[in-house]
Structure 1
């Protein structure tokens, strides 16, 4: 699996990698030992803005102020455009979140201003691998708060 995890390599298939991560996540209650050891992930299921189909994406996260606020970063690996999952939730902000063995509905809100900056700093502190993503793109990378319903 290691050779398929570098998105800069030719032939990298993010969908295949995500499906493998999702399967392990669900089988182990969120403890990833084979695909992404030590990663702290949440699964977010959005509704396709055009297709209406459900799409699940594994995302790194931090908690903000307790169990009811999960914060994720729509970096898209520092790509010039927003990830599909983010575009989906802007059309339909109700999502399903899987955190470990818990599964619940949430509403996705894009943070702005001072709140965005505070949450962005918390994300970078927890996930140093995303440090520098914002500087690599012209768009403002959305910081999304998933609020439990």
Structure 2
């Protein structure tokens, strides 16, 4: 049976969540999860580089077959939205630079796929990710849970060859 490793990514300039799951038929199992964190005291360029380098380590360590990035929404603060957009660009670039296919899903679609409603809060997503991946280690961070939710969403919406 075909086994596919999916890397979910939840972009953020301060904390980018990531989570890798293994999909075999209808079975999902967690591989690893965490966050890439940047220091707010660094320049924007240094923070983006930290994010890129951290993601490259995750990609090298886990060698996913596919990557999934949560689409971000526009918020009221134009500067914050622009910085988040730059971080999102880095998150899209890292797997693409290794020729890993990258897919995108809206936050509402991810939440609806995992929780059942599109406007669930982060704690609801975390709880459902822990239920769907019961062998997860404790101490799951919210950003990593969002990333795992993106990977789960992709697993549910992508037909697989058996």
Q: TM-score, normalised by structure 1?
A: 0.32
**Higher relative contact order by CA 8 Å / sep ≥ 6: 1 or 2?**
2
| Higher helix fraction (1 or 2) | 2
Q: TM-score, normalised by structure 2?
A: 0.30
| Higher strand fraction (1 or 2) | 1
